[in-house]
Amino acid sequence: ISMARIATELIMNAARGLPSSVSSLRQNKLRHFGVKEAVFPFNMFPEVDPVLGPEMRSTGEVLGLADSFELAYFKSQEAAQASLPTSGTVLISVNDADKPEALDVARAFCQIGFQVMATEGCHRYFAAAGIETVLVKKLYEGRPNILDHLTNRELQLVINTAAGRRSQYDDSYIRKAAIRYKIPYITTMTAALASAHGIAAFLCKGYAPDQLKSLQEYHAAIEPGQALEPV
């Protein structure tokens, strides 16, 4: 289907007052959610800093389908070989700009039973908001530090955002160690909150093998809607 051509025709016809070129266009009702996730080859290059950037290239994409966005997101991470943990300890170390959003993230993980570790700045910020966390040292602050906890596999999830060139250099060891020890890591607040909600949805509903559906079953459940009126 030439989606770009059809979309252009619809826009141009509407602008010129012409009838729609797709007379049977309908707003179908979907009963499922889909989350597409990119797959990056960081596991093949453990010394490469996985902080997101515009020059990055994925090696493919996967899709998670479920009856809710939260569960679809959880499944998409599993398909990308970055399965989210369902219990344990999560490390949160983010820049100042992300701290307000990190409050919701920390609170969400606490609500589903995770222990939250945080570096000094985040620890104080969370404490001021009434969120209890465990203080953890950075590499240059003494021991045991973040690297020790990662090496001992005492962390099940890492949430780390960088700020500026100096911070990227300082915190890159966290992200590299997470890759080395195959610990899931997150570098954006949007993904962090989606992960917390996804884990909560899985703990609440889960999915058994007999609940899995084929693409054909998802497609068959789509309800045809009413025809759209020409603009």
pLDDT tens-digit series, residues 180-220: 888 999 989 999 999 999 999 999 988 776 678 888 888 88
- Residues paired with residue 54 on neighbouring β-strands, in sequence order: none
pLDDT on residue 45: 60
DSSP state of 86: S
The CATH code that applies to domain 33-211 is: 3.40.50.1380
The pair phi, psi for residue 102, each rounded to 5°, is -65, -25
Interatomic CA distance for residues 103 and 120, integer angstroms: 14
DSSP, res 182 = T
- Confidence (pTM): 0.79
